[in-house]
Structure 1
Amino acid sequence: MDPAARRLGGFLALGGLLVVVDTTVVVVTVPRLVREFDASLTTVQWATAGYALALVAVLPIAAWASARFGTRATYLTALAAFTGASLLTGLAWNVGALIAFRVLQGLGGGLLNPVGTAIALSAVPPHRRGAMMSMLGLPVLVGPLAGPLLAGLLVDHASWRWVFWLNVPIGVAALLLGRRLLPAPAAGRERLPLDVLGLLLLSPGVTLVVLGLSGSGLALAAVAGAALVAVFVLRSRRVAAPLLRLDVLRERATAAGAATVALFACAYFGAGLVGPLYVQVVRGDPATAAGALSLPQALATGLTLQVATRLVDRYPPRRIVGLGVAAAVSGTVLLVAVLDAHTPYPVLAAIGVLTGTGVGATIMPVMTAATRALPADRIPSAATVLNILSQTAIAAGTALVTAVLSWRTGAHAGLTVGAAAELAPGARAAQAPALAAAVRDTLVVPAVLMAAAWLASRRLPRADGVPHGPTVTSHSPAASASPGDA
């Protein structure tokens, strides 16, 4: 890539870092927040699920907002909203305020990834999109490495509030850089009408589906949400200017990539909730230890991502992604096999390296393979669809794993997770084998979902299939826009 494209990719990676860091740090703070606000795990978990739902709720307007206001204005406005909401989250006085401000964070951060991805992919030709996506994947390396460890230090030695205030200086720096690096909007942008009815169908539908997964007795909510999403899909095929161009899923690579991303994100981010809880609740160790234990896996993920995503430009993605998912499944199954109340941390770290290697060869390579052969005018819709699916899957995975962990903790130890977190050292030691068994049972769910993701990845192209000429052109305004208005 040329220097200008690298600078652009680096800046967009900084914006993406905010969203990734804000996801990883909260996982470490959950036990402290349960105690701080005297709330149940399920309630506090809505600080994460509500954030993820808000990300999803605002995602559908990404392509429309970019066309209506320009990507520069859309991106910088979203960045400013996220930064301001981060400041407010650190000021939360009860769990309700915490969840509300986290939702505001999600509304701001939800536009950063799809708009940033569209800008980045339109700035380079298709055969260089893997290299560009590897730059956008840098937050996957930096965020999980720095986020949990720094969050653990802040929780143990300062205050959980600083976990959220971390975003403020990063956000301000990104805003200043963005004003310099993002080009001014091009003249003659297409002012598309907003599909309001489509938005009103999709956002509540996704919310109800995730709500239905969050606890017992809510199956009707999940059914209602699925019905709304189905109506949205059917309607989108019949209107002239739909909220999302779902016809991008007719492309085999895009459809296979979407299914793989959804299943794998559900498994990976759901499993990410379990590790810190195991360290703090089962072992009784501080949040700093939970953050430190995550470092080997995060490092393996980030380093593998940088190599694997570039290899997608040269080799069939089916081969690379298939090996990646297989490695992640193997790591998760091995963890289920060896986990007990006294499993040595070096063993867990080594298994984390195997799992992290698989993750690095899966998520960003799949996103690249799903979009690289599309013309420029379809990239915004494809990026939005993939982001909606991944964020919905993250929320669903978090809710599903929380529900299973609560169920198995009650079955094995006769306790809620919140009560287990409050046990005195002696009582915790007595309950540790039962609590470890609950964690082990819960990890079976991500393992099964990852195996399903491997099956979905078999539909990715066998051959390279990358256009090696100039960037695909189109007569639409989206295709002819400058990189800053893609």
Structure 2
Amino acid sequence: MAYRSKVALVYLFGFALDLLNMFAASIAYPDIARELHASVTQLAWISNAYMLGLTLIIPLSVWLAARLGERRLILGSLLLFGIASGLVAQAGSIESLIGWRLLQGLGGGLLLPVGQALAYRQFPVAQRAHLTGVVLLVALMVPALSPAAGGLIVEALSWRWIFYLNLPLALLAFALGLLWLKADQPSTERPTLDLRGLLLAVSALSLLLVAVSLASASATRHLAGGVLLLGALTLWLYLRDGWHKPDAVLDLQLIKSPSLRLAMLIYLFVPGIFTGTNMIAVLYLHQLGVGAAQTGALMLAWAAASGVAIMLGKRSFNRIGPKPLLIAGMLLQCLGIVLLMRIEQPAAAPLIIAYALMGLGGSLCSVTAQTLAFVGMTPEKMGHSSALWNINRQLGFCLGAALLSSLLGALGGHSFQYCFLAAALLTLLPMIAVLRFDASKVLALLSTPPLQEKST
């Protein structure tokens, strides 16, 4: 097996572990609530704490990778993830469980950007669309299969075994990394830590994620605006402080790259908005009398269409470039949301078509955006770009859900059509940026032979 395939497999294994923990764990919430006497708010923080740890550690990942080496950091993150999983499984109270979930998120947050950077660095520009397609297929399959697997584990054993079973999987990923990943090359450079930038970045991300959590609950929604404003102010201070720093914790100058900037914008407004749309759609369909099983089955139509889009995107990117794929993806998702908005009776066919259109459009944008983000990145900048990408990805999912749930709460529980209309318009918001994007440089990079690329 080629070395780059081994690196990609280690990364994909870790990525699958992360997704498994996000989606399988939610099935155990009723049992956790009963055994640990947890409230609904505390149950929400089982997920929130994991997401918080996952996001907050990302700014530090680039410095740690440069200081310790990528192989050591990947192996260390897998060990941390496995140990934290065991501690979550043994938690005797909801408070300790939430704390160990935060630690588990820290392990995942180190693995994802560093593993992604190492994997993408191994592939020539023209082959990165294929790698992105495989990554997104994993991102599609694990959320689709893990809730069912989690349900079987909870019924056959207990909720604790969802987390205990992470241990052998994490150890297997650790063993593969130990055997397959090349030893880190000794570096004479000892990068300094931008402590002020790190504190500002972590504070800004913490405040934004807490604001999202507050906005999702009606009882605390009135506090979300103030926390969000404070988070935005802290983010502005961080950007002002780190924009021209040569040793910044994150290389913000990379945002000047038109490809990365457009890709991040697309992820915020297409996959991010779908997250919120799907959340309010569940409530809307319940109001129409659609059962939970039928609503869940609609995601099968979404998943099937997403699989088609991922295959289409990875095969077409090198041939026609990103613009036609992004335009088509935004229009298809917008059309799916508009169709959902116009459904007033629980008819199966229109709902299936709406979800299929959203899956086709959203995933076409996802595979194109993730490929575009890294298409022109040099190997030495891959770590910083991967960290920026993963922060943007996490924020996109959180902010999309918070925005539409807050809008629904502000307009009243029966204003679903207005929320769907807002979601459809937001999906099209990046269209001007896409139309103005010059794809000729991307197509030129894609036509560069791999041998010539390595020598430049």
TM over 0.5: yes
Does 2:435 align with 1:461?
no
2:299 equivalent among 265, 285, 294 = 294
Aligned to 2:71: 72
CA pair 56-302 structure 1, distance change in 2 beyond 3 A: same
CA pair 474-276 structure 1, distance change in 2 beyond 3 A: farther
CA pair 42-277 structure 1, distance change in 2 beyond 3 A: farther
1:412-456 deviation per Cα after TM superposition (whole angstroms, max 9, x unaligned): 4xxxxxxxxxxxxxxxxxxxxxxxx46666555543432224444
**CA distance, structure 1, for counterparts of residue 151 and residue 344 of structure 2:** 23
**Is residue 56–residue 202 contact of structure 2 (8 Å, CA) maintained in 1?**
yes
Aligned to 1:226: 232
CA pair 364-462 structure 1, distance change in 2 beyond 3 A: same
1:223-248 deviation per Cα after TM superposition (whole angstroms, max 9, x unaligned): 22111111111111232311111111
Letter aligned with residue 338 of structure 1: I
Aligned to 2:331: 326
**CA distance, structure 2, for counterparts of residue 112 and residue 277 of structure 1:** 34
Aligned to 1:313: 318
Q: Kindly state the Cα deviation for residue 249 of structure 1 after the two structures are TM-superposed.
A: 1.3
Task: Return 187-196 or 395-404, whichever deviates more.
Answer: 395-404
**Is residue 244–residue 253 contact of structure 2 (8 Å, CA) maintained in 1?**
no
Task: Give 1:8-407 correspondences, 5 Å limit.
Answer: 8-26=7-25, 41-154=40-153, 159-188=158-187, 190-213=189-212, 214=214, 215-274=221-280, 291-338=296-343, 343-344=346-347, 347-404=350-407
**CA distance, structure 1, for counterparts of residue 350 and residue 36 of structure 2:** 34
**Is residue 193–residue 241 contact of structure 1 (8 Å, CA) maintained in 2?**
yes
**Is residue 144–residue 294 contact of structure 1 (8 Å, CA) maintained in 2?**
no
1:394-428 deviation per Cα after TM superposition (whole angstroms, max 9, x unaligned): 222333445455566xx44xxxxxxxxxxxxxxxx
CA pair 235-441 structure 1, distance change in 2 beyond 3 A: same
Letter aligned with residue 147 of structure 2: P
Q: Kindly state the Cα deviation for residue 314 of structure 1 after the two structures are TM-superposed.
A: 2.4
Q: What is the identity percentage for the equivalent residue pairs of Structure 1 and Structure 2?
A: 25
Q: Which runs of 5+ in 1 are unaligned?
A: 413-436, 476-486
**CA distance, structure 1, for counterparts of residue 60 and residue 167 of structure 2:** 25
CA pair 455-277 structure 1, distance change in 2 beyond 3 A: same
1:451 equivalent among 406, 428, 431 = 428
Q: Provide the secondary structure at the position in 1 that maps to 2:58.
A: helix
Q: Which has the higher contact order (CA 8 A, sep 6+)?
A: 1
1:354-411 deviation per Cα after TM superposition (whole angstroms, max 9, x unaligned): 2111222111320211221122222211111111111122222333445455566xx4
**CA distance, structure 1, for counterparts of residue 36 and residue 277 of structure 2:** 24
**Is residue 275–residue 290 contact of structure 1 (8 Å, CA) maintained in 2?**
no
Task: Return 236-245 or 193-202, whichever deviates more.
Answer: 236-245
Q: Kindly state the Cα deviation for residue 157 of structure 1 after the two structures are TM-superposed.
A: 6.3
**CA distance, structure 2, for counterparts of residue 397 and residue 157 of structure 1:** 35
CA pair 34-358 structure 1, distance change in 2 beyond 3 A: farther
CA pair 211-457 structure 1, distance change in 2 beyond 3 A: farther
Q: Provide the secondary structure at the position in 2 that maps to 1:354.
A: helix
**CA distance, structure 2, for counterparts of residue 455 and residue 40 of structure 1:** 45
**Is residue 56–residue 391 contact of structure 1 (8 Å, CA) maintained in 2?**
yes
Q: Kindly state the Cα deviation for residue 109 of structure 1 after the two structures are TM-superposed.
A: 0.6
**CA distance, structure 1, for counterparts of residue 124 and residue 406 of structure 2:** 44
Letter aligned with residue 248 of structure 1: L
Letter aligned with residue 351 of structure 2: L
**CA distance, structure 1, for counterparts of residue 286 and residue 153 of structure 2:** 15
Letter aligned with residue 222 of structure 2: S
Task: Return 147-156 or 276-285, whichever deviates more.
Answer: 276-285
**CA distance, structure 2, for counterparts of residue 38 and residue 277 of structure 1:** 26
Q: Provide the secondary structure at the position in 1 that maps to 2:384.
A: helix
**CA distance, structure 1, for counterparts of residue 330 and residue 375 of structure 2:** 20
CA pair 330-390 structure 1, distance change in 2 beyond 3 A: same
**CA distance, structure 2, for counterparts of residue 304 and residue 216 of structure 1:** 40
Q: Provide the secondary structure at the position in 1 that maps to 2:318.
A: coil
Task: Return 398-407 or 224-233, whichever deviates more.
Answer: 398-407
Letter aligned with residue 363 of structure 2: G
CA pair 122-30 structure 1, distance change in 2 beyond 3 A: same
CA pair 220-357 structure 1, distance change in 2 beyond 3 A: same
